[in-house]
Amino acid sequence: MTAAGDQQRVMVLGGTGFLGRHLRAAFRSAGAHVVSVSRALPDDAAGDGSPDERFVALDLTAASPRELRDLCADTDPDVVVNAAGAVWKVTEEQMRRANAELVASVVAALSGLPRGPRLIQLGSVHEYGPGTRRGGLHEEGPEAPVTAYGRGKLAASRSVLAAASLDGVVLRMANIIGPGMPTGSLLGDVAAHLERYATDPGATDAELAFPPLRAERDFVDVRDVVDAVLAVAHAPRAAVSGRVINIGSGRAVRAGEVVERLIALSGLPVRLVERAADGATGTAVDRQKLDISRARRLLGWEPRRDLDTSLSGLVALSPA
């Protein structure tokens, strides 16, 4: 991507989010110059005066392709990583704008540049739909999303792959967990409940009640995802451009088991209670497991952190 000895220039869209923060730190540690783009500047935007990171405040969902093109022309990145998007606590319209329309604008902006950077689009396992009991979900398999989030992510992936002149790669990721996970997600909410209980057991319910958590999910550590992104950023164009590459653990675990394990690792006397609604049957297949053989073959990548390691990063607590 860059000449030997040159410093790689990386633009991270959504650089202040859960995944974006990890990406910024990893690229900087790898010696890259990082431009972080987000709606608002973080509290530490002034940083330590290092020339290796720059922050740009820009509402990506409202920016035009021209604004994005001007930004890219000004920063001249070798790699653009799209870690922006919306999944929790937003309307379906906000989700569509943040996940599908934003990427279409980014693709249009980058396609108009004389020296286009590599675009790494961070997609989702939910682009495939609920999955099946047979084997793992493969990149060449059917795509049948059943949620607004999955549909928006799939539209974004198709925008990237349809741009013939673009050096675009889609990493289709499993459910990401690890240090700094936000509330809004199942495990982020459970971790927040555990933190409240650890701080004040008397003010927090020791019972965590959910509908039956039967869905089986592929979970991957955020640090393993970052390793995969860095591998793609340095991979030869012929190996990865125009491809979808699955990034996950390659195994499916029932969501209820994962919550129970998170509680156990916290060491707190909190109980998970799964209660079915009246008349609910919950018999539909909902099992997502990614086939990650392509990532192994093209990137030499595979997950290095097990589920307990990932969950431990969520519950760094001192039980009361």
Asked if residues 185 and 304 have their Cβ atoms less than 8 Å apart, the reply is no
Render the burial of 156-171: b for 16+ CB within 10 Å, e for the rest: bbbbbbebeebbbbbb
- Give average pLDDT by consecutive 10-residue segment, the chain, 320 residues: 73 95 96 94 62 91 90 93 87 89 94 90 95 84 93 96 95 95 92 94 93 95 98 97 97 96 96 80 74 98 96 69
Single-letter amino acid, residue 253: V
- In degrees, rounded to 5, the angle at the alpha carbon of residue 183 between the alpha carbons of residues 179 and 189 is 95
pTM for the whole structure = 0.92
pLDDT computed for residue 46 by the predictor: 55
pLDDT computed for residue 206 by the predictor: 95
pLDDT computed for residue 52 by the predictor: 85
Domain boundaries, the chain: 9-178+219-250+289-304
pLDDT computed for residue 318 by the predictor: 42
Q: Which of 18, 128, 149, 219 is catalytic?
A: 149
Fold observed for domain 9-178+219-250+289-304? Rossmann fold (3.40.50)
**Per-residue pLDDT tens digits for 103-120:** 999 999 999 888 889 999
Q: How far apart are CA 130 and CA 134, in angstroms?
A: 12
**Per-residue pLDDT tens digits for 40-51:** 887 666 555 567
Q: Let me know if 128 is a catalytic residue.
A: no
